[in-house]
Amino acid sequence: MPLLTAAAQIDPFVPQLYKVAHVRRELSDVVTLEIKPSQGSRPSYAPGQFNMLYAFGIGEIAISISGDGTDSTGFVHTVRDVGAVSRAIAALDIGATLGVRGPFGTEWPVTAAEGSDILIIAGGLGLAPLRPAITHVLANRARYGRVAILFGCRHPEDILFHDQLAAWRGRLDIAVEVTVDHADSNWHGHVGVVPALIPRVSFSPHDTVALVCGPEIMMRFTANALRDAGVASNQIYLSMERNMKCAIGLCGHCQFGPTFVCKDGPVMRFDRIERLLTLREI
Amino acid sequence: MAGLEHILREHAFFAACPEDQIALVAGCARNHRFDPGQYLFREGDPANEFFLIRHGKVALEIAAPAQSPIVISTLGEGEIVGASWLLPPYRWTSDARAVELVRAVGIDAACLRGKCEADHHLGYEMMKRFAPILVKRLNATRLQILNVYGKR
């Protein structure tokens, strides 16, 4: 086993063995797994990065790190049961073993954004890759201007990290707004799409950094709404999703125009990919 | 009237609107207060008045048999409730319910339509202010019905 560990340190294709330490069911089809390395310590990571999670005998998928930074001994991943591999990973019990390669990819610009207002805009499961950024910003709250978290999902029962959103909303130094696409009259919150929340929070458009994660169409609409509100395209960051395989920019599965999402992303600046987002051939 | 003019001038819908036009609209305006659960209007009723929300939240709803009304969207401070007053047959196409205490300014539709007919500059100004809102809501509705958060 020490040989495997040593090899893995120099070979990004070799998965490390991790064990599931805790499982939390978030939604009917979403779980959050806390995983810890079977040997040694986990590598450090930056908010926005992802790991390749390997369900033995089934396959490997890219999943963003969704930890809130409170545990330095393992990784936290929030997984939606949507395909064969994610279903297998979401079904893992405490003590089960899985393979992990990573962390890979670019990060949310939380350091570069210091001194500016921050808009964090998430749709659905997109809140998971943003949680490390939110945690970082809140832990260093004095370094930022106004902070707003805008979250949208389909129904009230689909609200991810419900308790944590409520706790964030309880703080007096940030704004948190939640909207759902569909609801009946028992829901007393906002109904509508997440871009419609943008005019409802205060920020200085010319000094704002926006971090956006969610379904690609939602991100496109949101980025356009941010620009309409005066936020420059080079201050808007999206977390892209493509079919990643090697995760180090070799295989080309996640090619996105002239870029590879695994290596040049997943966090990408809007002005650099705006044209690609509307190209049908990509 | 001066109070209403001031309120209209401060509302986002009338941002940078010429003073003489604000005065004309104010002549059709009155203050409203709606308690939580109270309806601003009901589907099918004549669209005699539209509303500028000053405080609170309004839900646009479609009633459905044997189930709770379906909320299409919610509107808040600085937003407009109601566009059916603009076009015949001038009837509401949804319910509008106060989710919480709502303070609003109501604009008498027949009064404003009459002034717009008499003063096309005012009419054009109103159209320029309403059209972007309607387009924005149309685009939002498109995104809403795409069900982007569903499993693919």
pLDDT digits (tens, 9 = 90+) for A167-215: 999 999 999 999 999 998 889 999 999 999 999 999 999 999 999 999 9
In the prediction, which pLDDT does B152 show? Answer: 54
In the prediction, which pLDDT does A1 show? Answer: 43
User: Mutate which of A26, A155, A191 to test chain B, going by most B C-beta atoms within 10 A?
Assistant: A191
In the prediction, which pLDDT does B150 show? Answer: 72
In the prediction, which pLDDT does B67 show? Answer: 85
Q: Which residues contact A46 (CB under 8 A, 6 or more apart)?
A: A103, A107, A108, A132
Q: Which residues contact A180 (CB under 8 A, 6 or more apart)?
A: A152, A153, A154, A155, A156, A158, A159, A187, A189, A190, A191
Could you please state the CATH topology (level 3) that the domain comprising B2-145 is classified under: Jelly Rolls (2.60.120)
Domain ranges of chain B: 2-145
Q: Is residue A144 predicted with pLDDT exceeding 90?
A: yes
Report percent pLDDT > 70 for chain B. 97
3-state secondary structure of B13: helix
Give contacts of B62 with chain A, Cβ < 8 Å: none
> Which one of A80, A124, A192 has the shortest CB-CB distance to B74?
A192
User: Mutate which of B139, B143, B145, B146 to test chain A, going by most A C-beta atoms within 10 A?
Assistant: B143
List all residues of chain B from 129 to 148 with a beta carbon under 8 Å from chain A: 139-140, 143-144, 146-148
**Interval B97-117 mean pLDDT:** 96
Chain B contact for A200 (CB, 8 A cutoff): yes
3-state secondary structure of B1: coil
**Interval A126-139 mean pLDDT:** 96
Work out the minimum CA distance from A38 to partner chain B, whole angstroms.
33
> Which one of B73, B100, B143 has the shortest CB-CB distance to A191?
B73
Q: Which 8-state DSSP code applies to residue B90?
A: -
pLDDT, chain B, mean? 93
Chain B contact for A196 (CB, 8 A cutoff): yes
In the prediction, which pLDDT does A7 show? Answer: 46
In the prediction, which pLDDT does A3 show? Answer: 44
Whole-number Å distance between alpha carbons of B130 and B35: 26
Domains detected in chain A: 2-104 (2.40.30.10), 117-277 (3.40.50.80)
3-state secondary structure of A20: strand
* CB-based contact A192 B73, cutoff 8 Å: yes
* CB-based contact A217 B148, cutoff 8 Å: yes
Give contacts of B140 with chain A, Cβ < 8 Å: 192-193, 195-196
Whether A87 contacts A99, CB under 8 Å: no
Q: Is residue A163 predicted with pLDDT exceeding 90?
A: yes
pLDDT, tens only, A71-129: 678 999 999 999 999 999 999 999 999 999 989 999 999 999 999 999 999 999 999 99
* CB-based contact B151 A82, cutoff 8 Å: yes
**Interval A63-76 mean pLDDT:** 86
pLDDT, tens only, A2-12: 444 444 556 88
Q: Mean pLDDT lowest for which of A45-59, A68-82, A143-157, A161-175?
A: A68-82
In the prediction, which pLDDT does A12 show? Answer: 86
Q: Which residue of B has its CA nearest to A194?
A: B140
CA proximity to B151, closest of A179, A174, A215, A70: A215
Give contacts of A125 with chain B, Cβ < 8 Å: 149
